[in-house]
Structure 1
Amino acid sequence: MKLPIRVSEESREPIYHQIETQVKALIVGGHLPPGTPLPSIRALASELTCSVITTRRAYQNLESSGYIKTVQGKGTFVREIETLQKEEAKQKVVYDAFQKAIEQGKQVGCSKGDLLTIFNEVIKRNFDN
C-alpha cells in the first residue's frame, strides 16, 4: 500500500516527525481505518527516499502512542483508536498546521489582520460551495 504522504528536506521539522504527523492525520481522519496494513519500514523508506532508521523511528513513535501495532511475521497495522483520543489527535493535527501557517506568514511579513483575512478566505473557499 502506498501512503499519500510527502516529506520535505527543506522543512525545519525532522523527517520522522513529518511521517508520524501525516500518518496520524490519515488515521484520525478515517482515511486509514483500523486493521489497514501499512507498508513495511523498508518499503516506506524507499518510497519516501529517506533512511530506514527515519521510518523506523516514526513507526516506533506511532506504535508507542497507540496508533499502529506490529504483528511479528505479518506486518504493521492501524489500531482501533478511542473516540476521545481521536478527537484530541484531530485537534492537535489542525492546531499544529495552523501554528506552522502563522509562523510562515510572520516570516514573510504578514500582520495579524493579513492572516485573519487569508484564513477567512480559505475557510470561505472550502466551505461555501
Structure 2
Amino acid sequence: MWLPIHINEQSAEPLYYQIEVQLRALIVSGQLEEGTLLPSIRELAQLLKCSVITVRRVYQDLENEGLLRTKQGTGTYVARIEQNAMDRFRLDSVIEGIESAIDAGKLVQCTKEELMKLFQEILERKYRG
C-alpha cells in the first residue's frame, strides 16, 4: 500500500515526527478508514528510505494514542475511533500547528497584530480556490 507521506530531509523536525504527523493526519481526516491495513514496519521503512526503528516508533506512538492497532501475525490496522475522539485529534493537530507558527513569529519578534494579519491573509488565500 502506498501512503502519501513525504519526508523533508532539510527539515529540523526529526524523521519519526514528520512521518507521525502525516500518518496521524491521514487517519483523523478519514483518508485512511477504520480497518485499513498499513504496510508492515519493514515495508514502510523501505518506501520512506528510513530505518525500521523509526517506523516502529511511529506505529507504537500512534497505537498508544488509540489510532492504530496491531494484531500479531496479521499486521497494523487503523483503529476504530469514536467521532468525538476523531474531532479532538483533528483539532489538536491544528492547535499544534498554530502554536508552532506563533512561536516562530514570536522568535522573530512579530507583534500580535502582525501575526493576526498574516493568519487572516493566509487563511483567505488558502480557502479562495
Where on the TM-score scale, by shorter chain, does this alignment land: which range? 0.7 to 0.9
Matched, 1:44 2:44: yes
Tell me what 2:68 maps to: 68
Q: Cα deviations across residues 14-41 of structure 1 (Å, max 9, x unaligned)?
A: 3222222221111111111101111111
Matched, 1:101 2:114: no
Distance 1:47 1:106, change over 3 A: farther
The 5 Å alignment of 1:7-86 reads 7-86=7-86
Distance 1:112 1:10, change over 3 A: farther
The secondary structure found in structure 2 opposite 1:76 is: strand
The letter for the 2-side match of 1:65 is E
Distance in structure 1 (CA, Å) of the matches to 2:48 and 2:101: 24
Distance 1:128 1:10, change over 3 A: closer
Normalised TM-score (structure 2): 0.86
Percent identity over the alignment?
A: 47
How large is the RMSD of aligned CA atoms in angstroms?
A: 1.9
Normalised TM-score (structure 1): 0.86
The secondary structure found in structure 2 opposite 1:21 is: helix
The secondary structure found in structure 1 opposite 2:76 is: strand
Moved more, 32-41 or 7-16: 7-16
Tell me what 2:92 maps to: 92
List alignment gaps of at least 5 residues for structure 1.
Answer: none
